[in-house]
C-alpha cells in the first residue's frame, strides 16, 4: 500500500453491480450502474438468471398441458396467465365459452389483480422504508389465496382455466364468502391510503421520481399501470374485450405526471375498480354449464394467432403458431409485460440517485419469472 | 372409417351389413321391414307402428324446436377461423401502393391481417407504417423456425398497434440462416430487447442493431435454444465449470466426447 488514499477516489465514475441478490430487485434482476457519487449516470439491466425455456417446453406439450407452464411465468398472478393462454387458444380454435364460465374467469382474474397489486404495494412500500402496509396488505391477500384454495385447491400456481371454460363450478358458499370479502375491501384500501397517500415521506420519495411521458411510454412499449400513469387511457379489457368484459361497468384510472406517485394512485384505483367488477359479476352470475363443447383431443388448424389479456402488469399476449391438425403448438411466444416495461428503466433513472432506482424498480412492478421465462 | 377396404377389426366400430345389429340402433322404419312377419304378430305389429309414429312425431317436434331455438355457440362444435385474402384492408393496400411490389402475400386469419414483405425493405416499411399510417406501438416481435423450408428458415413477425382505431397489423418477413434482417430498433425503441431476444433464441442477425448481445442466456453460450434442432433436454454447458475437460465455449458435446475425457 505504497500509494496514498487520495488516488482511491480520483476517478469520477464508479461501476456498481446492483443485484442479483439485492432484496429490492424483487428476484434475480441485476442492474449494472455507472455512478458519479450517488448519481446514476447509466444503468443496464442484466436478466436471464431465471430462464427456464418455457417457450421451448410449450412446443413439446399438448395444448391443454401448456396451461400449468403459464402459471410459472408471472407466479404472483397465475390466473391471468392462464386466461391469456386460453383466450388465445379459443381464438385459434373458434370456441365460444358459456357465459357462466366467462363470469367465473372474470371473478378469478380480478381477484388475482387485487392480490397482485396488494403484493406490489407491500413490497414497494417496504423498499421505500414503509414497513407497516405490508402487514395489512398480506392480511387481505391471504383471504384471496384462501378463496382460490377453496375453488381449485391451489393458492399460487392455480392452473384454473381450461380451453373452453373453467374446470369446476364454484363450490357451495363460495360466492357468499367472496361477496363478503369484496364488501370489506374498499375500507381496507382506504386504510392503506391513510398510511401512504398523504404521508410526507412517501410523497418525497415518489413524486417526480421515474418520470416518463406518454409519448415515451408508447415508444418504449409500456403497458398496464406504467402506461396509464403517464396519462394514456388504454386497457385491453376495454379495447379488445375478452370473456365478458364488455358487459361490466368499470373505469380506467389514469395519472397526469407519469411519476411513481401517479402509478401508485393508478394501482390503488385499479383495485377498487377490480372490486367493482367482481361485485357486478357476483350479482349477475348466470346459470349454465362452465365448459363449452370441446373435443377431447384438441387439434388446431394451420395459422397464427395472438391473443392478449390485461394482466396486472400490463398487456400479456400469447402468440401461437399451429400447423394443420397439430396437437401441440409449433411455436408459442409469450409477450410478457414485465420484460418490455423493464426496458424503460435506464431512461427513467438516468440522472437520479440510487434510492430512486429502488423506487422505479418497485413502481414498474416486475416479476422475474415472466421476464426470463 | 370412410373407406371400406374389407379389413374390419373387431374394435373399429363399423357395422357389417350381414351382422346382427343392436335393436337400439335400428330406426323404426327398418324394424317394420322384416320379410316374413310372424303369423300371430298383427297386434304386436300395430303397437310397433303406433310407437314408431309417436317416435317420429317426437323427433319432428324436437327438430322444430331446434330450428326455432338454435343451440348456443358453446354447445356447438367449434368452427375454426379460416384464411382469407386481406388485400382489401386499407393498410395492406396502402403499403402495397407505397412500396411497389413489396407486399408478396397478404392473409387474414381470425380477424388479424398479415402481410408478407421482403427482408431488405422491412425497416422502411415499418417506418412508413409508424409515421404515415399511425402504428405508433410495436406490441411484439418474434421469430419462428422452419428448418428445411425452401424460401428461408426463419419467419420474423412484427405485431403493431394503432391507437386511433385500435387496429392491429402483422408484418412477416422471411430470412435464411445466413441472412441478416435490418433492425427496427431505430423505428420503435422497444424493438431493442425484442430483437436481442430473437438473436439469442434463434441466432437471427439484426443489421444495424446498436447492442446485439445475448439477453436471456449468458455471453459465451453456444447455440440458440428455440431452434428446432436444439434438444429440449438442453446441452452440456460444462465448459465454464470444468475448463480442463470441456473445450472453451461450451456447447453440444457430440457422442459423449466430454464424458470420456472426464473419465
Higher pLDDT, A266 or A26: A266
CB contacts under 8 A, A 72-111 vs B, are 91-98, 101
* B150-154 contacts at long range (C-beta below 8 A, 24 or more positions apart): B152/B119, B152/B176, B152/B177, B152/B179, B153/B177, B154/B202, B154/B204
Quick one: pLDDT at residue B256? 47
Dihedral angle sign, alpha carbons of residues A8, A14, A18, A24? positive
Contact between B121 and B101 (Cβ < 8 Å)? no
**Given a cut of 50, is residue A10 above it in pLDDT?**
yes
What does R_g of chain B's alpha carbons equal in angstroms?
A: 32
A259 in contact with B, Cβ within 8 Å: no
- Residues of B with CB below 8 A from A55's CB? 201, 226
Task: Please say whether the beta carbons of A165 and A291 come within 8 A.
Answer: yes
For B234, name the nearest residue in chain A, comparing CA atoms only. A53
Low-confidence ranges of chain B (pLDDT < 70): 1-41, 61-68, 236-263
| Cβ pair A86, A108 in contact under 8 A | no
Contact between chains at B139 and A47 (C-beta distance less than 8 A): no
State the smallest CA–CA distance between residue B64 and chain A in angstroms.
Answer: 22
Q: Nearest residue on chain B to A290, judged by CA atoms?
A: B74
User: Does the CB of A168 have a partner CB in chain B at under 8 Å?
Assistant: no
Nearest CA in chain A to B200: A48
Mutation to test the B interface, candidates A239, A292, A304, most B Cβ within 10 Å: A304
Classify strands A14-18 and B154-162 as parallel, antiparallel or unpaired: unpaired
**Grid coordinates belonging to A59:** 412446443
The pLDDT value recorded for residue A24 is 75
Residue B219 corresponds to which cell in the numbers above?
Answer: 455471453
What tens digit of pLDDT does each residue of A149-204 get? Answer: 999 888 888 888 889 889 888 998 899 999 999 999 999 999 888 888 888 889 88
Any CB–CB contact under 8 A between A52 and chain B? no
| Residue pair A304/B155 in contact by the 8 Å Cβ criterion | no
- The length of chain B is 263
% residues pLDDT > 90 (chain A) = 31
How confident is the model over A84-95, as a mean pLDDT?
90
A201/A282 Cα distance (integer angstroms)? 39
161-180 of B, contacting A, C-beta below 8 A: 163, 166, 168, 170
C-alpha cell of A199?
Answer: 404521508
What is the spatial order of strands in the sheet that A331-335 belongs to? Answer: A303-311, A314-322, A331-335
Across chain A, the runs of DSSP E, i.e. the strands, are 14-18, 30-36, 39-46, 303-311, 314-322, 331-335
pLDDT tens, position by position, B38-91: 555 577 777 877 777 777 877 776 666 556 677 887 777 778 888 887 777 887
What is the rounded CA–CA span in Å between residue A195 and residue A202?
A: 9
Residue from B216, B224, B232 to probe the interface with A (highest A Cβ count within 10 Å): B216
Answer yes or no: is pLDDT of A3 > 70: no
Q: Given CB atoms, is B95 within the 8 Å cutoff of chain A?
A: no
Alpha-carbon distance of B99 to B125, in angstroms, equals: 8
- Mean pLDDT, chain A, rounded, equals 88
**Contact between B72 and A98 using a beta-carbon 8 Å cutoff:** yes
DSSP per residue, A4-48: -GGGGG-SS-EEEEE-SS-GGGSSS-EEEEEEETTEEEEEEEE--
Task: Tell me which residues of chain B, numbers 52 to 91, contact chain A at a CB-CB cutoff of 8 Å.
Answer: 72-81, 83
Q: How many other CB atoms sit within 10 Å of the CB of residue A215?
A: 11
pLDDT in tens, A263-318: 999 999 999 999 999 999 999 988 888 888 888 888 888 888 999 999 999 999 99
Cβ distance B232 to A321 less than 8 Å, yes or no, reads no
Amino acid at each position: 500500500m505504497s500509494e496514498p488514499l487520495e488516488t482511491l477516489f480520483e476517478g469520477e465514475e464508479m461501476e456498481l453491480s446492483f443485484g442479483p441478490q439485492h432484496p429490492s430487485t424483487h428476484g434475480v434482476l441485476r442492474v449494472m450502474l455507472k455512478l458519479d457519487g450517488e448519481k446514476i449516470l447509466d444503468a443496464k439491466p442484466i436478466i436471464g438468471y431465471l430462464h427456464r425455456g418455457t417457450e421451448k417446453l410449450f412446443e413439446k406439450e399438448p395444448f391443454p398441458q401448456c396451461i400449468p407452464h403459464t402459471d410459472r411465468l408471472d407466479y404472483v398472478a397465475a390466473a391471468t396467465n392462464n386466461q391469456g393462454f386460453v383466450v388465445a387458444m379459443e381464438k385459434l380454435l373458434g370456441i365460444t365459452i358459456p357465459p357462466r364460465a366467462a363470469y367465473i374467469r372474470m371473478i378469478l382474474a380480478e381477484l388475482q389483480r387485487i392480490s397482485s397489486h396488494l403484493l406490489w404495494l407491500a413490497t414497494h412500500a417496504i423498499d421505500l422504508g414503509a414497513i407497516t402496509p405490508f402487514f395489512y396488505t398480506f392480511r387481505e391477500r391471504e383471504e384471496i389465496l384462501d378463496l382460490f384454495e377453496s375453488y381449485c385447491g391451489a393458492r399460487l400456481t392455480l392452473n384454473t382455466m381450461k380451453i373452453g371454460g373453467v374446470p369446476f363450478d364454484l363450490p357451495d358458499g363460495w360466492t357468499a364468502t367472496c361477496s363478503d370479502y369484496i364488501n370489506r375491501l374498499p375500507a381496507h384500501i382506504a386504510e392503506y391510503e391513510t398510511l401512504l397517500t398523504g404521508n410526507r415521506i412517501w410523497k418525497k420519495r415518489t413524486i417526480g421520481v421515474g418520470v416518463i411521458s406518454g409519448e415515451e411510454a408508447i415508444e418504449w412499449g409500456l403497458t398496464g399501470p406504467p402506461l396509464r400513469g403517464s396519462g394514456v387511457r388504454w386497457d385491453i379489457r376495454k379495447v379488445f374485450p375478452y370473456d365478458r368484459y364488455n358487459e361490466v361497468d368499470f373505469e380506467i384510472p389514469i395519472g397526469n405526471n407519469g411519476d411513481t406517485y401517479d402509478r401508485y394512485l393508478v394501482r390503488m384505483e385499479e383495485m377498487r375498480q377490480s372490486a367493482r367488477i367482481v361485485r357486478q359479476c357476483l350479482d349477475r352470475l348466470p346459470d349454465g354449464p362452465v365448459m363449452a363443447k370441446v373435443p377431447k383431443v384438441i387439434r388446431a388448424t394451420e395459422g397464427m394467432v395472438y391473443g392478449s389479456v390485461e394482466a396486472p402488469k400490463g398487456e400479456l399476449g400469447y402468440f401461437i403458431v399451429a400447423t394443420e391438425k397439430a396437437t401441440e403448438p409449433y411455436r408459442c411466444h409469450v409477450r410478457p409485460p414485465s420484460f418490455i416495461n423493464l426496458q424503460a428503466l435506464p431512461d427513467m433513472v438516468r440522472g437520479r440517485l440510487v434510492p430512486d432506482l429502488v423506487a422505479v424498480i418497485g413502481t414498474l412492478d416486475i416479476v422475474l419469472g415472466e421476464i426470463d421465462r | 372409417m370412410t373407406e371400406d377396404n374389407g379389413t374390419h377389426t373387431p374394435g373399429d366400430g363399423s357395422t357389417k351389413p350381414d351382422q346382427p345389429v343392436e335393436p337400439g340402433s335400428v330406426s323404426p322404419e327398418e324394424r317394420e321391414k322384416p320379410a316374413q312377419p310372424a303369423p300371430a304378430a298383427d297386434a304386436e305389429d300395430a303397437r310397433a307402428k303406433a310407437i314408431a309414429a309417436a317416435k317420429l312425431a317426437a323427433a319432428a317436434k324436437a327438430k322444430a324446436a331446434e330450428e326455432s331455438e338454435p343451440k348456443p355457440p358453446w354447445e356447438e362444435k367449434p368452427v375454426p377461423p379460416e384464411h382469407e385474402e386481406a388485400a382489401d384492408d386499407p393498410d395492406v393496400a396502402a403499403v402495397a401502393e407505397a412500396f411497389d411490389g413489396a407486399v408478396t402475400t397478404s392473409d387474414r386469419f381470425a380477424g388479424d391481417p398479415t402481410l408478407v414483405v421482403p427482408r431488405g425493405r422491412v425497416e422502411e416499411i415499418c417506418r412508413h407504417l409508424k409515421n404515415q399510417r399511425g402504428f405508433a406501438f410495436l406490441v411484439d416481435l418474434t421469430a419462428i423456425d422452419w428448418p428445411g423450408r425452401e424460401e428461408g428458415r426463419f419467419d420474423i413477425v412484427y405485431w403493431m398497434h394503432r391507437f386511433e382505431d385500435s387496429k392491429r397489423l402483422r408484418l412477416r418477413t422471411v430470412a435464411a440462416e445466413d441472412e441478416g434482417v435490418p433492425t427496427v430498433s431505430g423505428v420503435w425503441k422497444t424493438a431493442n430487447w425484442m430483437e436481442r431476444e430473437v438473436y439469442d433464441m434463434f441466432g437471427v442477425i439484426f443489421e444495424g442493431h446498436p447492442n446485439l448481445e445475448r439477453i436471456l442466456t449468458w455471453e459465451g453460450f453456444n447455440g440458440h435454444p428455440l431452434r428446432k434442432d436444439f434438444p429440449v433436454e438442453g446441452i452440456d454447458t460444462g465448459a465454464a465449470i470444468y475448463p480442463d475437460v470441456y473445450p472453451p465455449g461450451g456447447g453440444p458435446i457430440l457422442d459423449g466426447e466430454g464424458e470420456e475425457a472426464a473419465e
